[in-house]
């Protein structure tokens, strides 16, 4: 294979990059980003690879969750805290309900860029450049604000840094302590079916902790009860940004993309000879690849060969997004091909992206039953093939939004406009997310 460098992606066909109006301005920004400190440390990425290797081997489960697209405008300590809360709640439900360790990976602290099906869109008869995420342009349908602005790369870096800082503080500073399980349940969740089920588990955890204390175990000394390892991930889409944050580790002399612990490649940019695969081939972070219903077994194997030639467990995560109706026919040939090739991969289900439709009142939405249906199909396929359904990848928010339909406290089509605040795709609200965690825990137990 040809020589790799952080810039070698530039010799490959590249999809989904913005039309930056001023190439020099972009170069200047990429250069200054290159001088800023890394957001994560190579040793952390290695530790995550080892954890994901445990998942690939069937000894742990991956919960990858967060916003579809983080926003420059809807950004506050409260929104970060509330997202973390719901992910911790899901992790508690999954860990307690299944007895399997859960690796907690946020779509957060860098999840800003969006691939688009068309470079332009028409709003009220005016053709505008498509919104590509706040790292590129603004979502407001105003031509001047849709022009890609490289200074946004710097803003995204700083927002990622402060988000990650708060996450590190929360997850190691006492907020994620198991003695806080009740405190993560927000008012609007407590009053729901999922919230009440969650409270019951929280009470059992309290009892278990009291029991251990009564047995003479010194709980204070057990760091694992008081902290969690929380990892960050995003789609590596804007390659100039990722390149600028790619650094050589002084311990191993290997390259790491220090913008996040884990990076993934989207369904639209996974061409094996394309720029995105070329870029991620050379960094040593754990990487993911999304696979949609048109993916073939040969493509999946080629991606494994290119991205993980040394067959390191935990290095590669294949994230299928097939649709509830398609998963049981489209996924088995991929798993079969990868298994036959002997590649250690971690299989994860993204039950969101192939279950999106437009409601009668014109809102992009997803139905809870379809999300659950795809996860059920994913588990059924793995059961039939004797492989491990390693995790789920979901879009959620800690807020009480009305973006996805269904759930125990049913959101109806007429409710969608009430609190529809997403910058991009519809997200599960906190109740729907916890409800989903209970269902997944049941599938894991079965």
Residue 411 contact partner, candidates Mn ion, ligand TRP, none, CB within 5 to 8 A by sort of partner: none
Residue numbers 249-308 binding ligand TRP by CB under 6 A: none
Q: Which stretch binds ligand TRP (CB under 6 A): 45-53, 85-93, 199-207, 297-305?
A: 85-93
- In the complex with ligand TRP, which residue's Cβ is closer, 17 or 180? 180
Strand partners for 123 = 126
Residue numbers 91-110 binding ligand TRP by CB under 6 A: 91-92, 95, 101
> Please, what is the minimum distance in Å from the beta carbon of residue 103 to ligand TRP?
9
Q: How far is CA 209 from CA 52, 250, 346, 391, in A?
A: 28, 42, 32, 27
Strand partners for 102 = 61
- Give me the helix-helix angle, 77-98 and 193-214, nearest 10°: 70
Which of the 8 DSSP states describes residue 135? Answer: T
Site string for ligand TRP, 164-183 (x = CB under 6 A): ------------x-x-----
User: Which residue, among 208, 269, 200, has the nearest Cα to 238 in the 3D structure?
Assistant: 269
DSSP string of 363-383, one letter each residue: -EEEBHHHHHHHHHHHHHHHH
β 389-395/61-66 pair status = parallel
Q: Which stretch binds ligand TRP (CB under 6 A): 222-230, 254-262, 337-345, 356-364?
A: 222-230
> Please, what is the minimum distance in Å from the beta carbon of residue 406 to Mn ion?
18
Q: Which stretch binds ligand TRP (CB under 6 A): 8-16, 39-47, 152-160, 221-229?
A: 221-229
- In the complex with ligand TRP, which residue's Cβ is closer, 410 or 442? 442
68 binds Mn ion (CB under 5 A): yes
Residue from 2, 76, 118, 224 binding ligand TRP (CB under 6 A): 224
Residue 425 contact partner, candidates Mn ion, ligand TRP, none, CB within 5 to 8 A by sort of partner: Mn ion
Residue from 65, 69, 80, 228 binding ligand TRP (CB under 6 A): 228
Site string for Mn ion, 397-436 (x = CB under 5 A): ----------------------------x-----------
C-beta separation of 236 from 112 below 8 A:
no
Q: How far is CA 80 from CA 76, 104, 171, in A?
A: 6, 15, 12
C-beta separation of 23 from 51 below 8 A:
no
What is the distance, to the nearest Å, from the Cα of residue 388 to the centroid of all Cα atoms in its chain?
A: 19
- In the complex with Mn ion, which residue's Cβ is closer, 198 or 368? 368
Handedness of CA 81, 86, 87, 88 (dihedral sign): positive
201 binds ligand TRP (CB under 6 A): no
Cα torsion at 368, 370, 372, 378 (round to 10°)?
A: -160
Residue 238 contact partner, candidates Mn ion, ligand TRP, none, CB within 5 to 8 A by sort of partner: none
* Residue 409 burial class via C-beta count within 10 angstroms: exposed 0-12, middle 13-18, buried 19 and up: middle
Q: Which residues bind Mn ion (CB under 5 A)?
A: 68, 425
Q: Which residues bind ligand TRP (CB under 6 A)?
A: 88, 91-92, 95, 101, 176, 178, 224-225, 227-228
């Amino acid at each position: 294979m040809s020589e790799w460098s952080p810039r070698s992606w530039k010799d490959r066909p590249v999809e989904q990059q913005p039309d930056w109006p001023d190439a020099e301005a972009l170069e200047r920004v990429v250069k200054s980003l290159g001088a800023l400190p890394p957001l994560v440390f190579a040793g952390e990425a290695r530790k995550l690879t080892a954890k994901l290797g445990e998942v690939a081997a069937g000894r742990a489960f991956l919960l990858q969750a967060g916003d579809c697209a983080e926003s420059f405008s809807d950004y506050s300590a409260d929104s970060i805290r509330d997202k973390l809360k719901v992910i911790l709640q899901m992790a508690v439900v999954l860990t307690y309900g299944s007895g399997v360790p859960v690796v907690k990976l946020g779509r957060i602290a860098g999840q800003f860029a969006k691939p688009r099906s068309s470079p332009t869109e028409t709003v009220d008869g005016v053709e505008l450049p498509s919104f590509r995420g706040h790292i590129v342009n603004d979502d407001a349908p105003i031509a001047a604000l849709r022009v890609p602005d490289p200074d946004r790369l710097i803003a995204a870096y700083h927002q990622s840094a402060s988000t990650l800082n708060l996450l590190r503080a929360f997850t190691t500073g006492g907020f994620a302590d198991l003695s806080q399980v009740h405190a993560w349940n927000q008012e609007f969740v407590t009053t729901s079916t999922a919230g009440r089920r969650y409270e019951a588990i929280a009470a059992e955890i309290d009892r278990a902790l009291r029991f251990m204390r009564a047995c003479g175990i010194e709980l204070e000394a057990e760091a694992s009860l008081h902290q969690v390892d929380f990892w960050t991930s995003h789609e590596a889409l804007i390659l100039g940004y990722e390149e600028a944050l790619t650094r050589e580790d002084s311990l191993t002399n290997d390259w790491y993309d220090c913008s996040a612990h884990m990076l993934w490649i989207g369904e639209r940019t996974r061409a094996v000879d394309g720029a995105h695969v070329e870029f991620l081939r050379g960094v040593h972070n754990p990487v993911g690849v999304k696979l949609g219903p048109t993916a073939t077994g040969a493509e999946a194997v080629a991606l494994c060969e290119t991205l993980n030639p040394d067959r390191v467990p935990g290095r590669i995560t294949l994230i299928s997004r097939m649709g509830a109706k398609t998963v049981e026919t489209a996924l088995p040939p991929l798993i079969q091909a990868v298994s036959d090739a002997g590649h250690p991969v971690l299989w994860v289900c993204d039950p969101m992206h192939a279950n999106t439709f437009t409601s009668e009142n014109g809102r992009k939405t997803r139905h809870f039953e379809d999300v659950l249906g795809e996860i059920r199909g994913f588990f059924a396929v793995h059961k039939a093939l004797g492989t491990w359904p390693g995790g789920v990848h979901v879009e959620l928010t800690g807020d009480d939004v009305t973006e996805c339909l269904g759930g125990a406290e049913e959101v109806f089509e007429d409710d969608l406009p009430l609190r529809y605040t997403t910058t991009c795709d519809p997200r599960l609200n906190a109740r729907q997310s916890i409800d989903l965690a209970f269902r997944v825990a049941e599938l894991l137990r079965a």
